């Protein structure tokens, strides 16, 4: 079952969409999600190590992902 | 404590009233507003967007951390998203405490943490018709506030 | 900049609005209110009195010093005198600046200086019917705020 | 011509009045004003070195006073 990969702000603009589906292999990590994103048009505008989140919590690229997870690639935050 | 991501205009007086209590001798607030210049460019407005579920979680966590770090403090924060015009408030924080030092420090803590970790983004619209996402990590520190 | 000693209820929202400008991205305010306990005693209200001409002079000087110390800051302060009930505001300070650090610092500067040198006095009324002039120089630091 | 000496808050309460007239000798200073005040009933409740002001500005006890001056004896301030 695929995970949802959410894109926001400048990253959504770069890839021309705000959501990507990804069907992870067993024992996949966020690094695998990023590797997949980098195959898409516009991904050259993503930084080498973007902030990432799993299920609305900050995570690290080595974190495992599970079926049904909501992964988010987080551009530099600019609230306030 | 309370935090919210809202799509309506913010009301600083309402947040000040929300944290008021007869045990509090000091109330502080911070209001962040859309400024007409940024990094030397003339700004005409700002679009704020958020990863709303996560932004709400982080904002609530920050407010809870502020109250834990400054025991006795009562803190509330609202951040607005959507299209904002010049001078409109994007964020309001109110903090109350028996004494003034923790009331100031709790308010300051929330805005500093908010800018570090709450997944909210803004796109500036310039007077010349162009627009750009704000990236605080790419700017000189002087231009990155507030 | 503006400072005033007034006998009417204070309006924090009005002072926030007064310093608002499209060049200001950050506005802070401080509201000091009558607290229900002080130095372990139950307070029922407070009378504020002032040497009004001198208090107004000192308050204006402090606000001017704040704007000189934090260039670009716009600061306004009103202090109320007379009989105040629990939770009523005795002082409101609003400070605005392009950036948040000087907005906070200017606001804090005003309340700290005000407490050091503006000739205003307060007499606490206690729930037990007694009353006493507040003397911050005679109290433990912990009990002297705000 | 006398100077006005203003008393406030706890000091006014101590001396039972909020104003005292004082006719200074030539070259009088604020110290002379304080010496006069200490002859009045209740003055034992004034501290050894109270804050003082001349014409609504902080002053020191060695400052000279002039005919028509408004002298103020300032209790510990407690604004805010």
Domains of chain C with bracketed CATH: 2-128 (3.90.1170.40)
Burial classification of residue D37, based on how many CB atoms lie within 10 Å of its CB (0-12 exposed, 13-18 middle, 19 or more buried): buried
How would you label C27-54 residue by residue, b for 16+ Cβ within 10 Å and e otherwise? bbbbbbbbbbebeeeebebbbbbbbeeb
Enter the tokens of residue B10. 């913010």
Please tell me the predicted confidence (pLDDT) of residue B110.
Answer: 98
User: B140 pLDDT band (50/70/90 cuts)?
Assistant: low
Bridge pairing between strands C82-85 and C41-50: antiparallel
Please tell me the predicted confidence (pLDDT) of residue C145.
Answer: 44
Contact call for B55 and A79, based on CB within 8 A = yes
10-residue stretch averages of pLDDT, chain D, 80 residues long: 94 97 94 97 96 98 95 98
Please tell me the predicted confidence (pLDDT) of residue B144.
Answer: 41
Distance CA D24, CA C115 (A): 33
The average pLDDT across A44-69 equals 96
Give the tens place of pLDDT for each residue, C43-96. Answer: 999 999 999 999 999 999 999 999 999 999 999 999 999 999 999 999 999 999
Which of C34, C54, C115, C122 is most worth mutating to test chain D (most D CB atoms within 10 A of its CB)? Answer: C54
**How long a stretch of residues is chain D?**
80
Please tell me the predicted confidence (pLDDT) of residue D46.
Answer: 96
Which of C41, C72, C98 is most worth mutating to test chain B (most B CB atoms within 10 A of its CB)? Answer: C98
Enter the tokens of residue C50. 């002032």
Distance CA D67, CA D65 (A): 7
Chain B residues with CB under 8 Å of A74 CB are: 51, 119
Bridge pairing between strands B2-6 and B74-80: parallel
ipTM value for the complex: 0.94
D80/C contact by beta carbon, under 8 A: yes
Over 90: is that where the pLDDT of A38 sits? yes
The average pLDDT across B99-110 equals 98
Burial classification of residue B135, based on how many CB atoms lie within 10 Å of its CB (0-12 exposed, 13-18 middle, 19 or more buried): middle
Give the tens place of pLDDT for each residue, B3-33. Answer: 999 999 999 999 999 999 999 999 999 999 9
Q: Above pLDDT 70, what percent of chain C?
A: 95
CA distance B22 to chain C (A): 5
A79: CB partners within 8 A, 6+ apart: B48, B50, B55, B79, B90, B91, B114, B115, B118, B119, B120, B121, B122
Helical H segments across chain B, by residue range: 12-19, 52-69, 100-117
**Which residue in B has a C-alpha nearest to residue A79's C-alpha?**
B120
Locus of tokens 């007409």: B36
Give the tens place of pLDDT for each residue, B27-85. Answer: 999 999 999 999 899 999 999 999 999 999 999 999 999 999 999 999 999 999 999 99
Give the mean pLDDT of chain B.
94
| Facing D6 at nearest CB: one of C51, C115, C123 | C51
Given a contact cutoff of 8 angstroms between Cβ atoms, the answer to whether C57 and C100 are in contact is no
**Which residue in A has a C-alpha nearest to residue B89's C-alpha?**
A80
pTM for the structure as a whole? 0.94
Given a contact cutoff of 8 angstroms between Cβ atoms, the answer to whether D6 and D70 are in contact is yes
Chains that touch D (3 or more CB pairs under 8 A): C
Give the mean pLDDT of chain C.
94
Please tell me the predicted confidence (pLDDT) of residue C71.
Answer: 98
Distance CA A73, CA A60 (A): 11
Chains that touch B (3 or more CB pairs under 8 A): A, C
Distance CA D72, CA C49 (A): 14
Enter the tokens of residue C90. 């005795």
Phi, psi of D16 (to 5 degrees): 70, 20
B122/A contact by beta carbon, under 8 A: yes
CB atoms within 10 A of CB C139: 15
Please tell me the predicted confidence (pLDDT) of residue D1.
Answer: 76
Given a contact cutoff of 8 angstroms between Cβ atoms, the answer to whether C62 and C110 are in contact is yes
Enter the tokens of residue B23. 């045990």
**Which residue in B has a C-alpha nearest to residue C34's C-alpha?**
B25
Q: Which residue has the higher pLDDT, B40 or B120?
A: B120
Specify the CATH class of D3-74 in words. Answer: alpha beta
Contact call for B138 and A74, based on CB within 8 A = no
D14-D19-D21 Cα angle (round to 5): 120
Please tell me the predicted confidence (pLDDT) of residue C141.
Answer: 47
Domain ranges of chain D: 3-74
Helices then strands, counting H and E runs in chain A, come out as 2, 5
User: B139 pLDDT band (50/70/90 cuts)?
Assistant: low
**Which residue in B has a C-alpha nearest to residue C89's C-alpha?**
B25
Helix (H, G, I), strand (E, B) or coil at C49: strand
Distance CA B77, CA B93 (A): 4
CB-defined contacts C:D, below 8 A: 73
Contact call for B121 and A10, based on CB within 8 A = yes
A43: CB partners within 8 A, 6+ apart: A14, A15, A37
Given a contact cutoff of 8 angstroms between Cβ atoms, the answer to whether C121 and C48 are in contact is yes
């Amino acid at each position: 079952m695929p995970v949802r990969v959410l894109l926001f702000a400048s990253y959504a603009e770069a890839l021309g969409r705000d959501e990507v589906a990804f069907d992870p292999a067993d024992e996949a990590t966020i690094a695998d999600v990023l590797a997949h994103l980098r195959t898409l048009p516009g991904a050259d505008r993503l930084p080498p190590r973007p902030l990432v989140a799993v299920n609305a919590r900050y995570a690290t690229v080595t974190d495992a992902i599970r079926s049904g997870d909501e992964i988010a690639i987080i551009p530099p935050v600019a609230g306030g | 404590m309370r935090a919210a991501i809202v799509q309506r205009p913010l009301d600083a007086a309402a947040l000040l009233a929300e944290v008021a209590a007869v045990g509090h001798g000091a109330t502080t607030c911070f209001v962040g507003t859309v400024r007409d210049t940024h990094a030397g460019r003339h700004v005409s407005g700002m679009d704020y967007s958020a990863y709303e579920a996560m932004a709400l979680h982080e904002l609530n966590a920050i407010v809870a951390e502020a109250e834990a770090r400054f025991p006795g403090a009562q803190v509330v924060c609202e951040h607005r998203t959507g299209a904002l015009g010049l001078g409109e408030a994007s964020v309001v924080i109110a903090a109350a405490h028996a004494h003034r030092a923790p009331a100031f420090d709790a308010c300051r803590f929330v805005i500093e943490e908010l800018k570090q970790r709450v997944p909210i983004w803004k796109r500036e619209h310039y007077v010349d018709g162009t627009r750009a996402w704000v990236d605080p990590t790419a700017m000189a520190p002087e231009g990155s506030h507030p």
